A and B are shown apart, each in its own frame.
Chain A
Amino acid sequence: MDRFRMMFQYFQSNSESVMNGICGLLALASVKMYTSFDFSCPCLPQYNVVYGLGTMFIPPVILFLCGLILNRQSLVMLEEWRRPAGHRKKDLAVIRHMCSSIMQRAMVAPVVWIVVTLLDGKCLICAFSGSVDPEKFVGFANVSTVQVQQLLAKVPCKDDELMRNNTSHKAVSRYLRCWSQALGWSILLILIIAAFLARWLRPCFNQATLLQARHWSNYIDIEQKIFEETCCEHSRLFAHKCILHFFESMQQEIKRHSFSLPKEGEEAEGEEDLLRGITNQDQVNKVLKTWYYEKPPLDVS
């Protein structure tokens, strides 16, 4: 009883913090992935855009899906959504609440990736170096149209032999990085203001409904965990009973076949109970062989 109470308290207090912890870990993993990823722009006209934008947008999708997979509550929500109504009717507000909290947590890591990418600037420089206006930059102004695309595509590769002698590539890089960082900071600012407003203004709308939805989504989560734990406990007891029945039936069979005299007196009854009448090598081997070849039926009535 005490054990169950401790578990209740643990589940209630820690289900949300476990999920927040996973969300934080994914965000850190996202930053670590970015720093360990060796970004190398191909510096070829069409490939640059694909590579740059691909590196900016595909990993966030992966991180979002990971966020959904690793969150236990998403399974609980899906099961609640798909279950037949039966004796308990479904409350769509609860499902919506669970869905929105799952989505919010899953969006953190992708946003972190996009913001870090923009603040670093390499992706945007790679993707859009071919789209700048060459007239603005001295080194590219007097080059023919065909060649200018090739040259601009090579701007992200500082060590390329064509770029080493061209001083305007730094100007283009700086220009694009400035745009990239401005975009990054703006997105960060907008998101933080939106999060701040959402949290502050939420109590002004439908607070009672929100409290109910949160309570019942928590309830569904805990109920699921306790059901699994009860099933584990039940299967343990079931297994214990099954094995006891098995040993008793083996004991009876051995008694029938061995014609041994019944033991005298009550000595060593504790040990005899544990030995369950199996007292020599052949009997032990028979028990083990029967356990493998003829497991008892799943019926402890």
Chain B
Amino acid sequence: MDKFRMIFQFFQSNQESFMNGICGIMALASTQMYSAFDFNCPCLPHYNLAYGLGILLVPPFILFLLGFVLNNNISMLAEEWRRPQGRRGKDPSVLRYMFCSMAQRAMIAPAVWVSVTLLDGKCITCAFCTSVPVQTLGNASHPHLSQGEVQRVLARIPCKDIYNGQQLIANEVAVRYLRCISQALGWCFVLLMTTLAFLVRSLRPCFSQAAFLKSRYWSHYIDIERKLFDETCAEHARSFAKVCIQQFFEGMSTDLVAARCHLPRKAPADAREAAEKLLGITDQSTMNMALKSWHRCKPPLNLHPPALPTGNGWAGEGQPPTHPSAPRRETAAYYSWV
């Protein structure tokens, strides 16, 4: 118990490092996805570009949407955005803060995919192999090859085993050239993203720090309030169910007593508690009838006021309430990870 308390405290105190850890895991997952993906360039003139750019740009879009879908706070944002104003005003800066922090986290995995793809080089090699400058890198003195033929030959650059243009331009030279361009783009992309992230993070305290503190407090508040409301409703549902079932069994045993017309035997004091828990049902056929009645004809969702005590119900007979209504301080507190 103590260990769990310390772990909760660690998460609470290091919320930022926890969220950073989650982002790191997502980045690793993105890398793993890329290495597990079997890239197969089609090596045909127009298909190459579509395939290469598709692999470069479509999975990041999917990962971005997935980042939003998997974030639990998206429903909270949607709820706050769409709720009617009522007696509580809406603050657009809170909505903006929530959206921005979710978007920032959702951007990590796509950015990692694009970086890894560019640094690896296969996609750009596949997409732009037909645009290699043959004049500078190879022998352009092949007049008998038409433009279309040249394009077809160049399109086979990524597929070394079917490449037949070694006289036109050496395969290794072209691949090295394209990979160099791809890696340069990759490093520039990573540098740009990191610089943007750094600027966003470091310029914020210089402007609007007070507004930021306000938005952050109220977005945490909305999250905590929602969780507390859910907990209160769950407690209410529990008590509702308890009283409903208790009234059902009372109703059943009242019917049984009326049907059988025999006086309940007074059990000795020490066995009375056990007898009370039996709720007046003491044989197989009665139990079967109770179960069948529960299935076929559940009681309405309407708790009538409690009946006068008959001595066989367990409602309020000196049992202390199991859930005091005072707030429980020793359970895990709710901490918002917006």
Contact = CB atoms under 8 A, between A and B. Distances in A.
A267 interface: yes
Contacts of B177: 42, 44, 47
A230 to B, nearest CB: 11
Nearest to B320: A270
A281 B301 contact: yes
B16 interface: yes
A276 B236 contact: yes
A79 B216 CA distance: 15
A63 B173 CA distance: 31
A3 interface: yes
Interface in A1-37: 3, 6-7, 10-11, 18, 22, 37
A66 B306 CA distance: 65
A160 B172 contact: yes
Given A271-B239, A275-B240, A242 B205 contact: no
Contact of B86 (A41, A274, A294): A294
Contact of B194 (A69, A74, A278, A288): A69
A263 interface: yes
B225 A18 contact: no
A96 B221 CA distance: 35
B225 A242 contact: yes
A240 interface: yes
B202 A74 contact: yes
B206 interface: yes
B209 A83 contact: yes
Contact of B305 (A62, A263, A271, A292): A263
Interface in A237-294: 238-240, 242-243, 247, 260-261, 263-264, 266-271, 273-276, 278-281, 284, 288, 291-294
A40 B176 contact: yes
B156 interface: no
Contacts of B333: 232-233, 236
A70 interface: yes
A78 B202 contact: yes
Nearest to A225: B13
Contacts of A38: 119-121, 179
Contact of A235 (B121, B217, B315, B324): B217
A294 B5 CA distance: 36
A61 interface: yes
B309 interface: yes
Interface of B: 5-6, 9-10, 12-14, 16-17, 20, 83-84, 86-88, 119-121, 137, 170, 172-173, 176-177, 179-180, 183-184, 187-188, 190-191, 194-195, 197-198, 201-202, 205-206, 209, 217, 220-221, 224-225, 228-229, 232-233, 235-236, 238-240, 242-243, 300-303, 305-306, 308-309, 315-316, 320-325, 327, 333-336
10 contacts: A18-B17, A40-B183, A44-B180, A157-B176, A231-B220, A236-B334, A242-B225, A270-B320, A270-B321, A271-B316
Interface of A: 3, 6-7, 10-11, 18, 22, 37-38, 40-44, 47, 50-51, 54-55, 58-59, 61-62, 65-66, 68-70, 72, 74-75, 78-79, 81-83, 157, 159-161, 225, 229, 231-233, 235-236, 238-240, 242-243, 247, 260-261, 263-264, 266-271, 273-276, 278-281, 284, 288, 291-298
By Cβ-Cβ distance, the 7 closest A-B pairs, closest first, are A270-B321, A294-B86, A267-B316, A281-B301, A42-B180, A239-B225, A279-B303
